[in-house]
């Protein structure tokens, strides 16, 4: 995947954007792979785009960040290694049961961050495989708390750029010691608590990029986005969408 044997596999574990400029920036930043998990997009579309932008130098792994529960108290779950689509806005227990059924790797992105995250009780209750310990949208206090959660629960960490903006790609990454050639390898490594190390850039430019990503939260939580996502049953990841064939009727919240 574009690196010398023994250096490990450098993966940006969660990005929201993907195009040719993203791929080029990831390569310049020395990454071997990125995990692509855009909002409100069904798995087949994510898989197709990930495959289209993968090449010999950079692998794009498809994943889903699922919004569980109702918008006002939603909790995000990052799933790697899914084989079937899972909608947003079903109960947390419903999501976890489905991810377990599909034998996916279950990750806790930005734990206990604002009102959109799994907390330490959730992480202990469910079969979570890793906790995000560094995220550019976090303030220092949030990253410190995330690291404490990983320690308290005995789970390995991971780091990602969580890039909603192109410039944040490669600001943060996770290096795995063993080869990872496809999404099944990555899911297995996460579930097996494979050895890894987390890294992030530092300095003024990094701080600026982190600040811009944090400010982007203002857009992510606008009422216009809430209306678009929740009130229309035609949205791709709405649990009432025809694509799910009523499979999640008993656990949907909208």
Q: Is the pLDDT of residue 230 over 70?
A: no
pLDDT value for 207: 85
- Is residue 251 situated within a structural domain? no
| Of the candidates 161, 180, 50, 40, the residue with the CA atom closest to the CA atom of residue 109 | 161
pLDDT value for 221: 59
Give the whole-angstrom CA distance, residue 146 versus residue 150.
6
| Of the candidates 34, 173, 190, 182, the residue with the CA atom closest to the CA atom of residue 104 | 190
Q: What are 60-110's pLDDT values in tens digits?
A: 999 999 999 998 888 999 999 999 999 999 999 999 999 999 999 999 999
Cβ(79)–Cβ(62) under 8 Å?
no
- Is residue 45 situated within a structural domain? yes
Of 89-103, 167-181, 204-218, where does mean pLDDT reach its minimum?
204-218
- State how many domains the chain has: 1
Of 2-16, 59-73, 126-140, where does mean pLDDT reach its minimum?
2-16
Extended beta strands in 9-104, E state: 9-15, 33-36, 59-68, 75-80
Instruction: Provide the 8-state DSSP code for 244.
Output: G
Work out the pLDDT band at 5, boundaries 50, 70, 90. very low
pLDDT value for 197: 97
Work out the pLDDT band at 51, boundaries 50, 70, 90. very high
Instruction: Give Cβ neighbours of residue 90 (< 8 Å, ≥ 6 apart).
Output: 68, 239, 248, 251, 252, 253
Cβ(11)–Cβ(180) under 8 Å?
yes
- Structural domain including 173 reads 9-244
Work out the pLDDT band at 113, boundaries 50, 70, 90. confident
Q: Is the pLDDT of residue 129 over 90?
A: yes
- Is residue 3 situated within a structural domain? no
Residue 43: in which H helix or E strand, if any?
Answer: helix 43-52
CA distances in angstroms from 63 to 4, 12, 35, 109, 141, listed in the order given:
26, 12, 6, 12, 27
CATH code of the domain in which 158 resides:
3.20.20.140
- Is residue 230 situated within a structural domain? yes
Q: Which residues on neighbouring strands pair with residue 157, listed in sequence order?
A: 131
Q: In this predicted model, which residue has the larger pLDDT, 115 or 106?
A: 106
Mean pLDDT of the chain: 91
- Is residue 193 situated within a structural domain? yes
- Is residue 103 situated within a structural domain? yes
- Is residue 36 situated within a structural domain? yes
pTM of the model: 0.92
Mean pLDDT over 46-70 rounds to 97
Work out the pLDDT band at 34, boundaries 50, 70, 90. very high
Mean pLDDT over 229-237 rounds to 72
3 state DSSP class of 36: strand
- Is residue 249 situated within a structural domain? no
Q: Which residues on neighbouring strands pair with residue 197, listed in sequence order?
A: 175
């Amino acid at each position: 995947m574009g690196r010398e044997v023994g250096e490990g596999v450098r993966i940006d574990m969660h990005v929201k954007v993907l195009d040719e400029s993203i791929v080029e920036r990831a390569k310049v930043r020395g990454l071997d792979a990125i995990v692509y998990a855009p909002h409100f997009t069904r798995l087949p579309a994510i898989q197709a785009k990930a495959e289209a932008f993968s090449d010999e130098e950079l692998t794009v792994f498809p994943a889903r960040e699922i919004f569980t529960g109702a918008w006002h108290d939603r909790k995000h779950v990052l799933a790697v290694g899914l084989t079937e689509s899972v909608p947003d806005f079903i109960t947390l227990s419903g999501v976890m049961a489905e991810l377990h059924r599909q034998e996916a790797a279950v990750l806790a992105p930005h734990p206990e961050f604002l009102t959109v995250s799994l907390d330490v009780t959730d992480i202990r209750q469910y079969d979570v495989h890793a906790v995000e310990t560094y995220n550019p949208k976090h303030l220092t206090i949030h990253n410190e708390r995330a690291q404490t959660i990983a320690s308290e629960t005995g789970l390995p960490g991971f780091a990602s750029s969580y890039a909603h903006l192109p410039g944040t790609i490669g600001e943060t990454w996770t290096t795995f010691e063993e080869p990872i050639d496809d999404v099944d390898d990555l899911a297995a490594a996460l579930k097996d608590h494979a050895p890894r190390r987390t890294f992030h850039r530092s300095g003024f430019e990094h701080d600026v990029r982190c600040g811009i990503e944090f400010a982007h939260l203002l857009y992510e939580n606008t009422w216009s986005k809430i209306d678009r996502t929740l009130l229309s049953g035609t949205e791709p990841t709405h649990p009432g969408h025809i694509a799910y064939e009523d499979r999640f009727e008993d656990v949907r919240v909208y």
